């Protein structure tokens, strides 16, 4: 259920975003490992698996990729069933140390959610889908797995919400996992043109021309 495209490199940081399903319906649990240095898809997880098994796979996948930050999708109501076994330590694994907590970009006064996971809402869903659209249009991703490309071709606009979504009889688990992975890159990745990064660097490198008394 895991496809590895690039093995982890010691000096690199990674993030994982997982779109979670029950393991018993038509939807799949999907996850993408994103290299935060170059937006590369390093690995994927995809399968009809129970939430406790998904938690186990994500735990060791995250540990292998240098203890990657893991974001669990909370929109479908199944995220808690994966987050809890990642956190409770009752299966012989230590609680996973780097689980994502959401920060609202449009609320500068709001720091961080107490609860874990990435909330897929009417506000965040268009954002992450738009970022995937831009990445495909600008060809900024080093590669896209073929199975994800095929899902993108059936990811269409609908008359009812949520839209766009998978066409009838198809799936969009890989699409949403990649969209969430790109959101992790936006938040934690390396952006050479980020002016905020330049300001922080200038501030760090500032040296006064006199000694502090």
The pLDDT tens digits of the residues spanning 97-110 come to 999 999 887 776 76
pLDDT for res 110: 67
113-132 confidence digits (pLDDT tens):
778 999 999 999 999 999 99
Residue 176 has pLDDT above 90, yes or no: yes
Alpha-carbon dihedral of residues 20, 187, 136, 68, nearest 10 degrees? -50
Predicted TM-score (pTM) of the model is 0.88
CATH topology for 2-190 is Nucleotidyltransferase; domain 5 (3.30.420)
pLDDT band for 68, please (50, 70, 90 cuts).
Answer: very high
Predicted pLDDT of residue 209: 47
The domain segmentation of the chain, as residue ranges, is: 2-190
Q: Helices marked H in the chain — which ranges?
A: 51-64, 80-87, 124-138, 146-153, 173-188, 195-205
DSSP state for residue 209 in the 8-state scheme: S
16-59: per-residue pLDDT in tens? 999 998 767 788 999 999 999 999 999 999 999 999 999 999 99
């Amino acid at each position: 259920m895991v496809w590895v495209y690039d093995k982890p490199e010691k000096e690199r940081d990674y993030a994982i975003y997982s779109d979670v399903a029950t393991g018993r319906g038509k939807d799949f649990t999907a996850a993408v490992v994103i290299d935060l240095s170059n937006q590369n898809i390093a690995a994927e997880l995809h399968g009809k698996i129970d939430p406790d098994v998904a938690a186990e796979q994500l735990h060791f996948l995250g540990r292998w990729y240098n203890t990657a930050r893991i974001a669990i999708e909370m929109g479908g109501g199944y995220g808690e069933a994966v987050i809890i076994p990642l956190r409770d330590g009752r299966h012989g694994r230590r609680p996973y140390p780097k689980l994502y907590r959401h920060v609202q970009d449009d609320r500068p006064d709001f720091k961080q959610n107490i609860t874990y996971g990435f909330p897929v809402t009417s506000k965040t869903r268009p954002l992450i889908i738009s970022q995937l659209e831009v990445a495909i249009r600008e060809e900024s991703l080093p590669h896209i797995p073929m199975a994800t490309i095929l899902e993108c071709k059936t990811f269409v606009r609908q008359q009812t919400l949520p839209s766009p979504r998978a066409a009838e009889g198809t799936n969009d688990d890989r699409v949403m996992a990649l969209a969430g992975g790109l959101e992790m890159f936006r938040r934690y990745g390396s952006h050479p043109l980020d002016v905020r990064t330049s300001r922080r660097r200038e501030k760090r490198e500032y040296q006064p021309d006199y000694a502090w008394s």
